[in-house]
Amino acid sequence: MIIGITGNMGTGKSTVARMLAQKGALHIDVDQVAKDIMQNDEAVLQSIVHEFGDAFLCKQGTLDYKMLGARVFGDQASLTKLEALVHPKTIQEVRNLVDTYSDHRDVVIDAALLVETDMHLEVDQIWVTHCTEEIQLQRIQQRSSLTKDEIQKRLAAQMPYEKKKEYAHHLIDTSGGLEALQKTVDELWQTLQEQ
């Protein structure tokens, strides 16, 4: 079983993915895969520097994610260029991981852009997380150093929940806290195991 979990920033998709990993599923964090590629794939790193300039490199020669994020979020043309440089290798690496492990265990693909990158076409089920806007903003502020303006720009770059939910096999409301969320995930997992 391959489960794609998506949801906008701060809605708890990674928390749900980690809960499934505790049940034995392989958790593929697509954001982390993309970061690893941007840092470790010399061709991708050089193409980003060529496109955006070496001002986006730290002294150690690694990408300055905060600076790059400030550049691309709020500037759709720049975001599209960055995605064109990073997404193909990211998607291929996710496919490689799925091919390696899916015969032996369940796989969870944790991806904010699951639908936007067409990865939703390669999964058996799509779970979409959501919560109240107030909780979402609270979570993002607690875990990041982003300003309210930076948060709004990143949220504006994501597909709205109303559109994302059209792709869902299951909608998961994460507003009720961890205990309620664990109960929901447990029930969904049990249903899957019985199919």
Structural domain including 117 reads 2-194
Q: What is the CA radius of gyration of the chain?
A: 17
CB 22 within 8 A of CB 103: no
CATH number, domain containing residue 19: 3.40.50.300
- Write out pLDDT tens, residues 6-54: 999 999 999 999 999 999 999 999 999 999 999 899 999 999 999 999 8
Nearest-angstrom CA–CA distance, 9 and 14: 10
Q: Which one, of 65, 59, 95, lies nearest residue 82 by Cα?
A: 65
The total of structural domains in the chain comes to 1
CB 18 within 8 A of CB 27: yes
User: Exposure of 129 by Cβ count < 10 A (0-12 exposed, 13-18 middle, 19+ buried)?
Assistant: buried
What residues contact residue 82 under an 8 Å CB cut-off, 6+ apart? 48, 51, 52, 68, 72
- Write out pLDDT tens, residues 93-119: 999 999 998 888 899 999 999 999 999
Segments of the chain assigned E as strands? 2-6, 26-29, 107-110, 125-130, 170-173
Nearest-angstrom CA–CA distance, 57 and 47: 12
Residue 82 pLDDT greater than 80, yes or no: yes
**Residues facing 3 on adjacent strands:** 108, 125
User: How many H helices and E strands in the chain?
Assistant: 9, 5
Instruction: State the chain's mean pLDDT as an integer.
Output: 92
